């Protein structure tokens, strides 16, 4: 797992875009990963447009999303998100009792009722995860920006050092 993270990290740092564009894309991808499970993966419908409208790097957003998946943070933060959502939206949410869904139900005309019942039953978690996604997105923006600039300066320093060293003649 660490090897995959390290590979994705190096891929991210060697991206030709600037530090702000890369860190913005990473932050959006990492932040939106917090919502994937609780929106039944509907967040991927708006994933690409959000990254492009924010003028972030799409490859960095995908890498941020992958790192968010590998970290299992959305699963671990479920109780915290539920509590946070209940504090922010203290009203009682009426849960719709539904029968188990089948594959044929997904292709029927009742798809919007199914999606409504899924989203309505998890409204507290959705509110909490949205807030946590924004917080983790902001944190990851500054972390990735710092690491990107640090790596860029280190590579520049190594390049200057190689130019200054005289060639050894035999």
**pLDDT tens digits for range 21-74:** 889 999 999 999 888 877 778 888 889 999 999 988 888 898 889 888 888 888
Give residue for tokens 């917090």.
34
5-26 pLDDT per residue, tens? 778 777 766 766 778 888 999 9
From the number of C-beta atoms within 10 Å of its C-beta (0-12, 13-18, 19+), residue 30 rates as buried
pTM: 0.71
- Angle between helix axes 111-121 and 123-164 (nearest 10 degrees) is 80
The candidate with the shortest Cα–Cα distance to 61, out of 40, 44, 81, 38, is: 44
Q: CA geometry: angle at 31 spanning 70 and 144, to 5°?
A: 80
């Amino acid at each position: 797992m660490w090897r995959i993270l390290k590979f994705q990290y190096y891929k991210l740092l060697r991206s030709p875009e600037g530090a702000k564009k890369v860190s913005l894309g990473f932050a959006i991808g990492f932040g939106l990963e917090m919502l994937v499970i609780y929106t039944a993966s509907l967040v991927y419908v708006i994933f690409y447009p959000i990254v492009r409208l924010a003028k972030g790097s799409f490859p960095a957003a995908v890498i941020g999303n992958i790192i968010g998946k590998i970290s299992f943070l959305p699963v671990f933060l479920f109780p915290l998100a539920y509590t946070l959502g209940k504090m922010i939206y203290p009203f009682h949410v009426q849960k719709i009792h539904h029968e188990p869904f089948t594959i044929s139900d997904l292709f029927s005309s009742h798809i919007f009722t199914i999606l409504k019942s899924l989203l309505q039953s998890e409204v507290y978690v959705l509110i909490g995860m949205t807030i946590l996604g924004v917080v983790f997105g902001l944190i990851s923006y500054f972390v990735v920006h710092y690491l990107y600039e640090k790596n860029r300066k280190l590579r520049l320093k190594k390049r200057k050092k190689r130019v200054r060293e005289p060639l050894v003649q035999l």
